[in-house]
Chains A and B, each alone.
Chain A
Amino acid sequence: MAQITVENLGKIYRVAARDPGIAGAFRGLFRRRYREIVALDHVSFSLEKGELLGFIGPNGAGKSTTIKILSGILRPTSGRCEVGGLVPWQSRIAHVARIGVVFGQRTQLWWDLPIAESFDLLRDIYRVDPKRYALTRDRLVDMLKIAGVLDTPMRQLSLGQRMRCEIAAALLHTPSILFLDEPTIGLDAVSKLALRDFVKELNRNEGVTVLLTTHDMHDIEALARRVIIIGNGRVLRDSSFESMRAEVLGERRLIVDYAGDDGAVAVDGASVRAQDGRTVEYAFDPAKVAAHTLIARVATAREVADIRVEDPKIEEVIARFYALHGAA
């Protein structure tokens, strides 16, 4: 049985609307108008234990709303959802004790407490057995390399340090599911890489189910085998990352650094996409012409310094996908 089941989930926000100007504000005193915003529209999917699922979509697509409903802090307007056999917003306390949640733009640590004390407080709040807690904490501190900041109050940490502490905090009670809502937002490249490695390891070695939302396509590329693309509150696509890439962009790229400046760049079976000095980027369809055939053609025509085959950039894949479904 699936660990997470979501069926026809709908969420409508009611937002107070006001006509412009003084007159509009005055009218609003007597008759308030509300506008309805559909954040989720019949969203369905399911997730097996130990899966790592990436949620992507533009701002306002409904990613965070989905995570908030799954973590039990929001009620949906319609639909059904079960996580490990519990309905999150109905059995809130039992449910949140089994999950870990990190919201990239929020903190669950105490602003003015040293990290170690925040951790101890979480141990008591989650009623974790002290012996088991000590083991988990030491392991997390080690893996996330936060031993040096344990005695520092959260407010004095850099964003990268803070995010690592947040992730540790979300895992102290060894949840079997981890929700990460834009965990890499604002992080530098090194911190991002470290975080991705950690999440991957956690998923692979400890079997923790991970549901991740992000704007950073590299997060998805590095982490998720399965991707849900969400736009305008609807699931546009639910499949493996590779199949999505293959479907939307059948083409591949051949990048050639020529040794000299002279000579034609045109190659039979590929089109020139871009040229920068001696570097030429070709696009080709691997179904029509094999990469090695193309490389042979290029190499016999002119002297070549370097040559490599690449997949299209993930941003391109996603952008084309949004365009295809009118979700941008």
Chain B
Amino acid sequence: MNALPYVAILRARFALMLQYRAAAFAGFVTQCWWGVIKIMVFAAFYAASPHQTMSLAQAITYTWLGQGLLGLLPWNADPEISEAVETGNVAYERLRPVDTHSLWLARAIAARAGTTVLRVVPMFVAAAMLLPAVGLAQWSWRLPPSTTAAALFAVSITLTLLLSAAFVVLLNIGVTALKTRRAANVAAVLVNPLSGMIVPLALMPAWSQTFLFWQPFAGLVDIPYRIYFANLTGASAFAGIAAQTLWIVLFIAIGRAWMNRVMSRVDMQGS
């Protein structure tokens, strides 16, 4: 398969996302605010029960990472595709001589990456550089403890991008199948608690850990972040990367089969 069309779409959309500076700035301010609140909650929590599988310093880095990489989370279907579904235009996507699933995946990767790049840089400057500079190093975003951790994180966060995009495509197809963008509302309900964005999964009860580790959404936040500060190392880090890979493959396989079914049923009467 020649990837040129998909790369072209990805490039164009990525460039487009970089133009939304005002939205990125507003997002940055909100995320700083939420970061501060979350860190205060953690400080209170750790003061009451200090012995956790993750240290307070790790939880703080976890929070800043999460605020910086919030754009990677698949909270919603592609807004343009949702719009096309509701106006009946979605079948026109089929006029392009490309594989629709790969096309939507490329769009989703570009959207997630574009949103994230704009937000993670100022967040890193603020939380990892400015905070220590003003004597608040204790509350700052720390760098990975080793180059191994950094390298594994680079792999894992790339998989996060793919996993998130593959899930967005599933949401797109769900929206197409049910003909309403509200079909994608299920995403936030699943993603927020199960990714570890609200509470780090490592702080959940011990009996739930195996399930939480292997369910698909851990790969969005929990796994890459714990690899970052070497809370997951060696075999556990590789297990995490394996879990991410497994779910990417499954999401894409399910998406492709579902897409074929849904697209053969799409009707556009009168439009």
Whether A101 is near chain B, meaning CB under 8 Å from some CB there, is: yes
Instruction: With A117-B12, A127-B4 as known contacts, state yes or no: A97 contacts B97, CB within 8 Å.
Output: yes
Q: Is the CB of A112 within 8 A of B95?
A: no
Task: Tell me how far the C-beta of B4 lies from the nearest C-beta in chain A, rounded to whole angstroms.
Answer: 5
Quick one: which of B2, B16, B267, B270 contacts A127, CB cutoff 8 A? Answer: B2
Which of A118-126, A216-224, A245-253, A307-315 lines the interface with chain B? A118-126
How far does the alpha carbon of A75 sit from the alpha carbon of B262 in the complex, in Å?
Answer: 12
Whether A207 is near chain B, meaning CB under 8 Å from some CB there, is: no
Instruction: With A74-B267, A93-B98 as known contacts, state yes or no: A121 contacts B91, CB within 8 Å.
Output: no
Task: Tell me how far the C-beta of B262 lies from the nearest C-beta in chain A, rounded to whole angstroms.
Answer: 12
Quick one: which of A93, A103, A112, A117 contacts B92, CB cutoff 8 A? Answer: A103
Taking CB atoms and an 8 Å cut-off, the chain A residues in 159-189 that contact chain B are none
How far does the alpha carbon of A65 sit from the alpha carbon of B268 in the complex, in Å?
Answer: 8
Number of A residues whose C-beta is below 8 Å from B?
A: 33
Instruction: With A74-B268, A124-B5, A127-B5 as known contacts, state yes or no: A68 contacts B12, CB within 8 Å.
Output: no
Quick one: which of B9, B16, B97, B269 contacts A39, CB cutoff 8 A? Answer: B269
Q: Is the CB of B95 within 8 A of A73?
A: yes
What string of 1s and 0s marks CB contacts (under 8 Å) between B77-111 and chain A? 00000000000010110111111000000000000
Q: Which B residues lie within 8 Å of A89 (CB)?
A: 264
What string of 1s and 0s marks CB contacts (under 8 Å) between A57-82 and chain B? 00010000100100111110000000
How far does the alpha carbon of A106 sit from the alpha carbon of B95 in the complex, in Å?
Answer: 12
Instruction: With A121-B9, A124-B4, A127-B5 as known contacts, state yes or no: A112 contacts B16, CB within 8 Å.
Output: yes
Task: Tell me how far the C-beta of B111 lies from the nearest C-beta in chain A, rounded to whole angstroms.
Answer: 13
Instruction: With A74-B268, A121-B8, A125-B8 as known contacts, state yes or no: A93 contacts B97, CB within 8 Å.
Output: yes
How far does the alpha carbon of A39 sit from the alpha carbon of B2 in the complex, in Å?
Answer: 38
What string of 1s and 0s marks CB contacts (under 8 Å) between A117-145 and chain B? 10011001111000000000000000000
Q: Which chain B residue has the least Cβ–Cβ distance from A72?
A: B94
Can you list 22 A-B contacts with CB-CB less than 8 angstroms, sorted by A residue number?
A13-B267, A14-B267, A37-B269, A60-B270, A65-B269, A71-B95, A72-B94, A73-B92, A73-B95, A75-B264, A93-B97, A93-B99, A97-B97, A108-B92, A108-B95, A112-B16, A121-B9, A124-B4, A124-B5, A124-B8, A125-B98, A127-B4
Given A71-B95, A93-B98, 16 new contacts (CB under 8 A): A65-B269, A68-B91, A72-B94, A73-B268, A92-B94, A93-B97, A96-B97, A110-B12, A112-B16, A113-B16, A121-B8, A124-B4, A124-B9, A125-B9, A126-B97, A127-B97
